[in-house]
């Protein structure tokens, strides 16, 4: 792997990092690798582990994805926190402070006005009273997941472990349990790798709506609770807690902060938004290193452009170096850590795993990557259940195969309800995925991309990525006429993306394609032993399909294993 050396340029360092000063410091995306961040974190409170990695892009470029991740292919995620308490979908804690938004209206109906019952109070109401992580993780293992990932915090800034640096955490409040700790034990007891996702770097911007007020009505001009301080809590249930540790709104908000769409242009900290101060960056660093040290995740996912707070701070770079060094030290010098980030440039893709949200690449990627997606809304949404709008198991299987054929992994969120359970529709979907992987898992796990990833009509209509992904479901639907390929050892696995008819004709395996460098010895169904009748013709490999005895869920995808002569054979 090529290691790029970087030269740091002396840019304007802003000591008082404010909206006014930001105009003098707006590096382009191409320039960001050379930025000297205005805020450098201290490692005094939470020391950075020593080792070969240092907090720079050039150092992190020595990273190589571990084999366990490349072999695993499929993970399941519990994107679960206090925003699931209302069962009203994602980004609730931001939108509940936006008059006219449907989540504001839902909050008004179910809890009261956000000047009187804010998100801090939603946290208090969340109990997770029926949560059984052991049962859920066992179900996910049966479905074929090889790693399990839990959310450690979201943009709502609430830590879901026994956090040393955030008083607003799930041990002190709400469920009063170390949720990350219990998820970790459940995953490891099932023999699964364990990961965590961290989203809290953006609370500074994300919660700015909590500084607002209604524009009309009986509460017009009455401030929401986003500016409350510790001194305001005397005699309340939160007496002794500082709401600013949660909301992080002791700053002048960004211009037009009430415009909900503005945040997207400010996500990478180089737009016209308010930029966090050094203390905020330091708290984020301390909390995240504490999380790593307490739970030693195998995978760490950041919901950020590149790394958290970059290029405003080196917090993310320092966390990454700590994570890699600590992981190596605890695993006899072998780096087994996986770090995921979004919207990465070419050098950054050498430093970590590129994560695509609700989307997929349209080619075989040179480095391993991951799609994160969800069968419903990210946080549990009762309306998705009522309207039966979950992704089908059929759709999930198609995504898994397509992603694996291009050197990727699929991380699938199964939304968890307020009480810690999943609903009956979700459980049925997971069980159907389990039926398919029980037969076809051999053709997924431990494989690598073949010479080409696929063929068929859907190749003519693909959708480009937008921002961090979001091309999911926008291409031509896959059918039994479409094929995806992977390989392992002396086998090529060809997935018909549906149930084929009496014969399957695979052009990429025909003589004319010239892609097979070795002779075919046998063809059989993945998961089966009986040989199938076949002939390698000029235009295609033609396989006689045993339509009467195809395995369970072959309507999702039917996999043929093409066994070749050994690589050492003439």
What is the helix (H) or strand (E) element at residue 59, kind and residue range?
helix 57-60
Q: Work out the average pLDDT over 292-297.
A: 98
> Encoding tokens for residue 387?
């309207």
**pLDDT band of 476, cuts 50, 70, 90:** confident
Q: Give the HSE-up count for residue 323: Cα atoms under 13 Å, Cβ half-sphere.
A: 31
Q: What does R_g of the chain's alpha carbons equal in angstroms?
A: 25
Rounded Cα distance between 447 and 237, Å, is 54
DSSP string, 352-375: SEEEEET---SS--SS-EEEEEES
**pLDDT band of 470, cuts 50, 70, 90:** low
Sign of the alpha-carbon torsion through 318, 319, 323, 324: negative
Residue 379 confidence (pLDDT) above 70: yes
Angle, alpha carbons 363-369-374 (nearest 5°): 100
Sequence-distant (6+) residues with CB within 8 A of 310 are 32, 37, 268, 269, 304, 316, 317
Q: Work out the average pLDDT over 126-138.
A: 98
Residues 261 and 294: beta-carbon distance below 8 Å:
no
DSSP string, 91-158: THHHHTTSTTSHHHHHHHHHT--TTTS-HHHHHHH---TT--HHHHHHHHHHTT-SEEEEEEE-TT--
Residues 162 and 169: beta-carbon distance below 8 Å:
yes
Residue 19 confidence (pLDDT) above 90: no
Rounded Cα distance between 153 and 173, Å, is 14
Residues 544 and 532: beta-carbon distance below 8 Å:
yes
Residues 309 and 284: beta-carbon distance below 8 Å:
yes
Report the b/e string of 16-42 with b at 16+ CB within 10 A: ebeeeebeebebeeeebbebebbbbbe
> Encoding tokens for residue 8?
């740091």
Residues 307 and 285: beta-carbon distance below 8 Å:
no
pLDDT at 30: 41
Span 254-285, pLDDT tens digits: 999 999 999 999 999 988 999 999 999 999 99
Rounded Cα distance between 190 and 179, Å, is 17
> Encoding tokens for residue 570?
């003439």
Residues 41 and 318: beta-carbon distance below 8 Å:
yes
Task: With CA atoms as reference, report the closest residue to 541 among 526, 556, 560, 554.
Answer: 560
Rounded Cα distance between 204 and 135, Å, is 36
Q: Work out the average pLDDT over 364-382.
A: 97
Top-ranked range on mean pLDDT: pick from 2-6, 233-237, 269-273, 463-467: 233-237
What is the DSSP pairing of strand 74-78 with strand 408-413?
Answer: parallel
pLDDT at 567: 81
Residues 121 and 171: beta-carbon distance below 8 Å:
no
pLDDT at 569: 54
Residues 543 and 534: beta-carbon distance below 8 Å:
yes
What DSSP state is assigned to residue 339?
E
Span 141-195, pLDDT tens digits: 999 999 999 999 999 999 999 999 999 999 999 999 999 999 999 999 999 999 9
Residue 294 confidence (pLDDT) above 50: yes
pLDDT at 340: 98
Residue 12 confidence (pLDDT) above 70: no
Rounded Cα distance between 486 and 396, Å, is 18
Span 421-460, pLDDT tens digits: 999 999 999 999 999 999 999 999 999 999 999 999 989 7
Rounded Cα distance between 148 and 88, Å, is 24
SS (H, E, C) 510-547: CCCCCCCCCCEEEEEECCCCCECCEEECCCCEEEECCH
Task: With CA atoms as reference, report the closest residue to 247 among 274, 282, 208, 281.
Answer: 208
For the full predicted model, state whether its pTM sits above 0.85: yes
Rounded Cα distance between 416 and 434, Å, is 19
């Amino acid at each position: 792997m090529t290691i790029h050396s970087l030269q740091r340029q002396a840019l304007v360092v802003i000591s008082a990092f404010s909206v006014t000063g930001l105009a003098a410091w707006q590096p382009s995306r191409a320039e960001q690798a050379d930025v000297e961040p205005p805020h450098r974190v201290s490692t005094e409170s939470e020391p950075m582990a020593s080792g070969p990695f240092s907090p720079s892009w050039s150092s992190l470029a020595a990273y190589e994805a571990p084999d366990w991740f490349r072999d695993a292919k499929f993970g399941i995620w519990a994107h679960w926190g206090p925003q699931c308490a209302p069962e009203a979908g994602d980004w609730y804690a931001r939108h509940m402070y936006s008059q006219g938004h449907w989540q504001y209206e839902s909050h008004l109906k179910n809890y009261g006005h956000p000047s009187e019952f804010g998100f801090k109070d939603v946290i208090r109401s969340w109990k997770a009273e029926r949560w059984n992580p052991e049962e859920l993780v066992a179900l996910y293992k049966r479905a074929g997941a090889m790693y399990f990932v839990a959310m450690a915090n979201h943009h709502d800034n609430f830590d879901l472990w026994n956090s040393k640096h955030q008083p607003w955490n799930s041990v002190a409040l709400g469920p009063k349990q170390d949720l990350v700790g219990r998820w970790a034990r459940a995953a490891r007891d099932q023999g699964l790798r364990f990961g965590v996702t961290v989203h809290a770097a953006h609370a500074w911007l994300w919660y700015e709506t909590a500084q607002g007020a209604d524009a009309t009505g009986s509460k017009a001009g009455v401030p929401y609770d986003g500016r409350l301080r510790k001194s305001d809590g005397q005699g309340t249930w939160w007496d002794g807690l500082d709401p600013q540790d949660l909301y992080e709104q002791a700053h002048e908000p960004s211009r037009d902060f009430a415009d909900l769409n503005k945040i997207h242009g400010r996500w990478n900290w180089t737009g016209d938004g308010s930029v966090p101060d050094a203390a905020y960056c330091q708290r984020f660093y301390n909390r995240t290193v504490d999380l790593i040290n307490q739970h030693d995740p195998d995978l760490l996912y950041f919901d950020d452009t590149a790394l958290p707070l970059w290029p405003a701070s080196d917090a993310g770079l320092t966390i990454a170096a700590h994570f890699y060094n600590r992981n190596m030290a605890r695993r006899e010098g072998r780096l087994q850590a996986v770090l995921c980030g979004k919207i990465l440039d070419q050098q950054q893709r050498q430093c970590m795993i590129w994560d695509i949200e609700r989307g997929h690449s349209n080619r075989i990627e040179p480095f391993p990557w991951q799609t994160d997606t969800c069968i419903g809304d990210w946080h549990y949404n009762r309306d998705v259940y009522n309207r039966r709008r979950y992704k089908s198991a059929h759709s999930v299987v198609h995504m898994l195969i397509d992603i694996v054929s291009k050197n990727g992994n699929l991380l699938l969120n199964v939304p968890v309800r307020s009480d810690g359970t999943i609903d009956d529709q979700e459980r049925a979907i997971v069980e159907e995925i389990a039926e398919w992987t029980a037969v076809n898992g051999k053709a997924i796990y431990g494989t690598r991309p073949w010479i080409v990833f696929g063929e068929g009509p859907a190749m003519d209509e693909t959708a480009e990525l937008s921002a961090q992904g979001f091309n999911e479901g926008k291409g031509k639907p896959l059918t039994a006429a479409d094929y995806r390929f992977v390989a392992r050892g002396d086998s090529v696995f060809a997935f018909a993306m549906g149930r084929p008819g009496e014969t399957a004709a695979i052009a990429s395996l025909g003589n004319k394609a010239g892609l097979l460098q070795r002779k075919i010895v046998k063809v059989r169904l993945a998961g089966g032993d009986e040989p199938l009748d076949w002939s390698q013709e000029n235009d295609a490999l033609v396989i006689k399909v045993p339509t009467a005895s195809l395995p369970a869920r072959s309507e999702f995808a039917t996999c043929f294993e093409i066994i070749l002569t050994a690589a050492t054979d003439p």
